[in-house]
Amino acid sequence: MLRQLALAAISLNRIADKIAATNALDLAAAIDTTAILQASAPIPGREARPQLVAPADLPARATHSPEGRAALIHALTHIELNAVDLALDIVWRFPGMPESFYRDWLRIAQEEAYHFSLLNAHLNSLGYSYGDFVAHNGLWEMAEKTSDDLLARLALVPRTLEARGLDASPPLRRKLAQAGDQAAAAILDIILRDEIGHVATGNYWYRHLCAERGLDPVAGYAALAERYGAPRLRGPFNLDARRAAGFDEAELAALQAPR
C-alpha cells in the first residue's frame, strides 16, 4: 500500500495536509512493487501560491536586507517542498524496483518534509509566509521530462539538480551567517548533512540500473544530460560533499573538465 499512499500524498493540494500525510507513512508497511498506478488528479497537488515564474524572472535576493533574507529562505523552502514531491513521485511512478528502493525514497520524503517544516517555521518567524514571493518550477520540470525513464530521473534529479545543492549550501550558509541569521545557518547545516545521504541514494540506484542495463555510468550520464537538456553545472563544486555522496573520481573529473 505504501506506493498508493505516496500517490495520495503527492496529490494533496494543501501543503499542511501533504506534509502530514508524508510524515504518517509507515516505512515498514507492505509495498506492492509491481503495481502500475495512475494519477487521478494533477501531479503534484499545489496551493494557488506561490506564483511560478521562469528562473530568469526571479528577483535578486540580497541578504543584507530583512526582505532579501526572507526571499532567500522562501526560495529554499520552495526547493524543499519540491523535494518532498520528487521523492513521493519516484515511489509511485516507477514499478519493478526492489522494496528497499521504495523505502529509501519514502525515508527521504520524510526528511525533506522535515527540512521544509524547519525552513517554513523560520520564514514565519521573519514575518513572512510561504507563497509571499514568486518561485520557479525548474525541479519539477525536469521531473516531468524524465517521467518515462527511471534511469534518467535518477541521473538528472538527485544526481544533478539536487547534487547542485551540495555546492550551493556552503556559500549560502556563509551569507546568512554574515547577515546575522544564525538560525538559518544552523538549518542549512542539517539540510547539507541529510542531502549528502539523499544524493548518495540517487548514486546507488543510478549505478544499480546502469549495471542492469550494461551501461557505463559516466558515459551514460553524459548521454542522458544531453538528451534531456540538463543544465550545465559550473563550479565551484563542493568536492568533499560530492565524494561523501558517492561520486567517484572519474565522475568528478568529468564534472570539472573544460566544456
Least confident piece of the model among 59-63, 154-158, 188-192, 213-217: 59-63
Q: What is the pLDDT of residues 84-128, one digit of tens each?
A: 999 999 999 999 999 999 999 999 999 999 999 999 999 999 999
Per-residue pLDDT band at 259 (split at 50, 70, 90): low
Task: Return the pLDDT at 61.
Answer: 75
Residue 62 has pLDDT above 90, yes or no: no
The residues spanned by each domain of the chain are 62-256
Least confident piece of the model among 44-58, 111-125, 191-205: 44-58
Closest CA to 184 of 134, 119, 127: 119
What is the b/e burial string over 134-169, where b = at least 16 CB atoms within 10 angstroms of the residue's CB? bbbbebbebbebbeebbbbbbbbbbbbbbbbbbbeb
Per-residue pLDDT band at 63 (split at 50, 70, 90): confident
Task: Return the pLDDT at 235.
Answer: 86
Average pLDDT over all residues of the chain: 95
Task: Return the pLDDT at 139.
Answer: 87
Residue 224 has pLDDT above 70, yes or no: yes
Mean pLDDT of 126-131: 97
Per-residue pLDDT band at 58 (split at 50, 70, 90): confident
Residue 28 has pLDDT above 70, yes or no: yes
Tell how far CA 256 is from the center of its chain. Answer: 22
Mean pLDDT of 155-167: 95
Closest CA to 223 of 162, 148, 155, 161: 155
Per-residue pLDDT band at 138 (split at 50, 70, 90): confident
Torsion of CA 226, 227, 229, 235, to 10 degrees: -30
Task: Return the pLDDT at 219.
Answer: 94
